[in-house]
Amino acid sequence: MLTLKLLRDDPEYVVRKLAVKHFDARDIVYKIIELDKTRRALQAELDSCLAEQKQKAALIGGFMKEGRKSEAEAVKAEVASLKDKSRELETKSDENSHELESLLVLLPNIPCDLVPEGKNSDDNVVVKMGNEIPELGPDALPHWELAKKFDIIDFDLGVKLTGAGFPVYKGKGARLQRALINMFLDINTAAGYLEVEPPVMVNEASGFGTGQLPDKEGQMYHATLDNYYLVPTAEVPVTNIYRDVILGNNDFPVKMTAYTPCFRREAGSYGKDVRGLNRLHQFDKVEIVRIEKPENSYAALDEMIAHVEGIVKRLGLPYRILRLCGGDLSFTSAITYDFEVYSAAQGRWLEISSVSNFESYQANRLKLRYKDADGKTRLAHTLNGSSLALPRVVAALLEDNQKDGKIIIPEALRPYTGFDTIG
């Protein structure tokens, strides 16, 4: 959530920067500024009313002691009138605050200056590529056929048990999932990230804090009886650990990692792009989250990008890193880098990670602050990244490593799988 100070100080800057996200903010921004002026005027009037009420109330006892009953009664009447007026002002102030809040949450985060202009994913900028794309023979199979051939992932059984997008992993497929999760967590913890195991259901306040609500409620599975939401990413519960927290100046950096299953409706998904593991409603993902001082957050972002790249390199998968353009940037992000791996049998790139800096946008919603060296309370910066999302990693591993009728497991992964090949 953008700060009122930013909106007051330079509304045209906000309007201009949000246009990079193809968001027309002018009407909302200036409506917020007017509401904020009214809010401050109401607060000033309320403070004056309460001060006068307190001052007059203090006179009543003195009048009564002096036997000036009629004057005391007159002041009592004035105090009662002031109480009525203060209640009226409080009601107006509450209504104003509610309207102000409802408009503030409609504004997305401002993209940083590094974000390129563009309308959609076609305009994203490739900043780096690594590992060679394998040349597969004419008999190469897509991962969903390999999964069936080796009986390691059963998509039909998932449909029977739940529905489309809920696969069942079997045998070496299940062990491969567990191996990847353990490998990713071990690499993350070795890099100083504290492993946590959060709930996979969160309350509405947690969804609001990281920006999933009210923006993405249609994408989240909602347990309506208890008003809980199944997590779309571990980012939500892990970042919310620090909701309503004031950190000390020496508490940084905060680095956390977590594995969770993730749940997304993926409404409107169809066609070849959702076959097999390409797009699921339930999937496994390991996440990294950082909380930083504002002056350090972009150095932290670079570290996170290098960290995720290191994991992909160990797996030996062809990859590319993209800087997302304004039109493809999420509602909450100030800048995002996507990692994609090449799915050789499908002949297409698959996203496996997004690494983002939200600057103070989430922190403002979370009320996540810290005391700087001068004792001043400031908003922290939050960052997160997938390290990694498993389904498309598995898809690329199966397709890119098929050879002589077998799947060759990358060497770095073998200590975790306990086997060298599938098939």
The arithmetic mean of pLDDT across residues 36-63, rounded, is 92
Q: Looking at residue 268, what is its pLDDT?
A: 52
How far is residue 289's CA from residue 49's CA, in Å, rounded to a whole number?
46
**Residue 384 domain-assigned?**
yes
Tell whether 87 and 132 lie within a shared domain.
no
Question: Using an 8 Å Cβ cutoff, are 232 and 222 in contact?
Answer: no
347 pLDDT band, cuts 50/70/90, is very high
**What range does the domain containing 125 cover?**
121-422
Q: Looking at residue 60, what is its pLDDT?
A: 87
**Global confidence as pTM:** 0.93
CATH assignment of the domain containing 37 = 1.10.287.40
How far is residue 43's CA from residue 49's CA, in Å, rounded to a whole number?
10
Chain centre to alpha carbon of residue 290: 12
Question: Has residue 308 got a pLDDT over 80?
Answer: yes
How far is residue 215's CA from residue 207's CA, in Å, rounded to a whole number?
10
**Boundary-marking domain end, from 104, 130, 154:** 104
Question: Using an 8 Å Cβ cutoff, are 227 and 204 in contact?
Answer: yes
**Boundary-marking domain end, from 78, 104, 130:** 104
Q: Looking at residue 271, what is its pLDDT?
A: 54
How far is residue 364's CA from residue 379's CA, in Å, rounded to a whole number?
7
Q: Looking at residue 267, what is its pLDDT?
A: 60
**Residue 115 domain-assigned?**
no
For the chain, how many structural domains are there in total?
Answer: 2
**Residue 114 domain-assigned?**
no
Mean pLDDT score of the chain: 95
**Boundary-marking domain end, from 104, 130, 148:** 104
Tell whether 125 and 99 lie within a shared domain.
no
Tell whether 262 and 156 lie within a shared domain.
yes
Tell whether 100 and 154 lie within a shared domain.
no
Question: Using an 8 Å Cβ cutoff, are 397 and 156 in contact?
Answer: no
Tell whether 30 and 75 lie within a shared domain.
yes
Tell whether 228 and 312 lie within a shared domain.
yes
90 pLDDT band, cuts 50/70/90, is very high
**Residue 398 domain-assigned?**
yes
Question: Using an 8 Å Cβ cutoff, are 265 and 218 in contact?
Answer: yes
Q: Looking at residue 336, what is its pLDDT?
A: 98
Question: Has residue 257 got a pLDDT over 70?
Answer: yes
**Residue 145 domain-assigned?**
yes
The arithmetic mean of pLDDT across residues 198-209, rounded, is 98
**Residue 109 domain-assigned?**
no
Tell whether 96 and 232 lie within a shared domain.
no
How far is residue 279's CA from residue 292's CA, in Å, rounded to a whole number?
32
Tell whether 269 and 389 lie within a shared domain.
yes
**Residue 111 domain-assigned?**
no
The arithmetic mean of pLDDT across residues 342-361, rounded, is 97
Question: Using an 8 Å Cβ cutoff, are 108 and 14 in contact?
Answer: no
Tell whether 365 and 302 lie within a shared domain.
yes
How far is residue 116's CA from residue 94's CA, in Å, rounded to a whole number?
40
Tell whether 94 and 165 lie within a shared domain.
no
Tell whether 137 and 98 lie within a shared domain.
no
Residue-wise pLDDT for 398-413, tens only, equals 999 999 999 999 999 9
Q: What percent of the chain has pLDDT over 90?
A: 90
CATH assignment of the domain containing 232 = 3.30.930.10
How far is residue 344's CA from residue 112's CA, in Å, rounded to a whole number?
34
Residues in the chain: 423
The arithmetic mean of pLDDT across residues 186-193, rounded, is 98
Tell whether 322 and 283 lie within a shared domain.
yes
Place of tokens 């007059």: 56
Residue-wise pLDDT for 119-175, tens only, equals 999 999 999 999 999 999 888 999 999 999 999 999 999 999 999 999 999 999 999
**Residue 295 domain-assigned?**
yes
The three-state (H, E, C) secondary structure of the chain, written as one string: CCCHHHHHHCHHHHHHHHHHHCCCCHHHHHHHHHHHHHHHHHHHHHHHHHHHHHHHHHHHHHHHHCCCHHHHHHHHHHHHHHHHHHHHHHHHHHHHHHHHHHHHCCCCCCCCCCCCCCCCHHHCEEEEEECCCCCCCCCCCCHHHHHHHHCCEEHHHHHHHCCCCCCEECCHHHHHHHHHHHHHHHHHHHCCCEECCCCCEECHHHHHHCCCCCCCHHHCCEECCCCEEECCCCHHHHHHCCCCCEECCCCCCEEEEEEEEEECCCCCCCCHHHCCCCCCCEEEEEEEEEEECHHHHHHHHHHHHHHHHHHHHHHCCCEEEEECCHHHCCCCCCEEEEEEEEECCCCEEEEEEEEEECCCHHHHHHCCEEECCCCCEEECEEEEEEEEEHHHHHHHHHHHCEECCEEECCHHHHHHHCCCEEC
